[in-house]
Chain A
């Protein structure tokens, strides 16, 4: 289950208007929607905020992956409902429902970001935001090696199981002890890999004194500006509602009686 869930954050090459947007615009999108969701605790405004995300999912042709990420959270949802309903005496169920919508909104926003931003461009956008090249590069390098390490982890599990290693063990101490046969090879392998990668980087003039050129560039297009403008309008309107500069009718604050 857990790995499936992570897949909904992995960049997917597709052609759509959302994919074409500048990564910085999409980062802004994820942040604005996080703020939007955090501003409210009532069900109705949260539903509105959540619904306004759906067009972006459809435009980005991401429905399938998005559903998967939401399904992956089912366990967390149940957990939230039980805990809140049990421990919050005052409309606990209503509150937990709001929390679920809030989390779903934030996860959806970031899932759109990661699903549509090419990790290559991510590094470039960090650099354009004045992050030093070395940092931006290490960030993209980490991304690059996630699948490699996942495959290595699977191979380690397979190798150990083939010599009688048992995954499930009873008791917390045994469980911790049981991690060593997996973690030690993984850590040692990763250290070795780090050396190999560093060696390969050195050999390809990484850290050269010369001024680095950039073969690829990213550009904030007219569509990006329109998108940015739209996001800011939504944000400002919601802030006004929150500060009650715009007064909403009573149903806006409606909650479930439980």
Chain B
């Protein structure tokens, strides 16, 4: 894998709506191939506008977006969508076919595949997503969680190098979130780059290495998640709240229990408490 190779470069972009509202102002960002990134911040901070510039749905008023070294302004949405797949919040905004199989076929039709290749890809994705038995079912009979899973499948089957999600965990229960994680880690292993807009602090804190905070159309912070989401001031500015584990850690320190600074994740915290309690109870 070629690490540290820039795949997305956003260079000082502004976006101003026709009614003169400023959605993005002087946003610059560099994303490397193979990264997993969260974009967080208040509603209206410009997160979804930013991701829409990636595949050309929105063209910046000023500044440029480069994907794989090429300027987006020279490419159509259709061309860019082959490299970047965006999965939006509401799956019902894209499902329209008679059957789940047809739905997947639609996603594949503008790519240069033969009929056999398409069929193979569909079979592949159906089994990966455990949809085989639903193959001929109407997508409209799916539950909210399953529809979201199908929307994910319709993009994953196109095999884009960059995957972008808008609120992927919204309305998903624990089992569905686990499945989603499995899918994105699998894609990461293949060298894909993944960006997601999310409000789910606990999810981001536990699973995503880098976080970008946005507020009022600007980037407020960009760095390792453990640093960004534990910064009280930044978190407040972005209308978020501190992750529970961090709140807990701060509280423990206040009581006088010395929690090592490098503990951020649930698993590490559990083993710390386990050890602490063992020692404490033994000394009692």
Contact = CB atoms under 8 A, between A and B. Distances in A.
Per the CB under 8 Å rule, do A and B touch in the complex?
Answer: yes
Interface in B105-130: 106-111
B47 interface: no
B96 A162 contact: no
A223 interface: no
Given A164-B78, A185-B96, A158 B88 contact: yes
Given A159-B88, A163-B154, A166-B110, A189 B81 contact: no
B96 A181 contact: yes
B82 A162 contact: no
A164 B111 contact: yes
Contact of A162 (B92, B106, B155): B155
Contacts of A163: 81, 85, 94, 106-107, 154-155, 158
B106 A166 contact: no
B272 interface: no
Contact of A180 (B86, B87, B96): B96
Contacts of B230: none
A183 to B, nearest CB: 8
A193 to B, nearest CB: 11
B208 interface: no
Nearest to A152: B93
Contacts of B90: 155, 159
A52 interface: no
Given A158-B88, A159-B88, A188-B140, A164 B107 contact: yes
Q: How large is the interface on A (under 10, 10 to 19, 20 to 34, 35 or more residues)?
A: 20 to 34
A158 to B, nearest CB: 5
B100 to A, nearest CB: 14
A159 B106 CA distance: 13
B137 interface: no
A235 interface: no
Interface in A118-169: 152, 155-156, 158-166
B94 A164 contact: no
B77 interface: yes
Interface in A181-235: 181, 184-185, 188-189, 192
B52 A164 contact: no
B221 interface: no
B96 A184 contact: yes
Chain B: interface secondary structure? mixed
Chain A: interface secondary structure? helix
Contacts of B82: 164
A184 B85 CA distance: 21
Nearest to A163: B107
Most buried by B among A156, A161, A162: A162
Contact of B55 (A160, A162, A180, A184): A162
B57 interface: yes
A162 B57 contact: yes
B183 interface: no
Contacts of A166: 78, 110
Most buried by A among B18, B55, B57, B82: B57
B88 A155 contact: yes
Contacts of B96: 180-181, 184-185, 188
B27 interface: no
B81 A162 contact: yes
A158 B85 contact: no
B86 A162 contact: yes
B177 interface: no
Given A163-B81, A163-B155, A158 B92 contact: no
Nearest to B96: A184
B160 to A, nearest CB: 9
Interface in B71-90: 77-78, 81-82, 84-88, 90
B81 A185 contact: no
B92 A185 contact: yes
B110 A164 contact: yes
Given A159-B94, A165-B106, 5 more contacts: A155-B90, A158-B86, A162-B87, A162-B155, A164-B107
15 contacts: A155-B93, A161-B78, A162-B55, A162-B81, A162-B84, A162-B86, A163-B85, A163-B154, A163-B158, A164-B81, A164-B158, A166-B78, A185-B95, A188-B96, A189-B92
Interface of B: 18, 52, 55, 57, 77-78, 81-82, 84-88, 90, 92-96, 106-111, 140, 154-155, 158
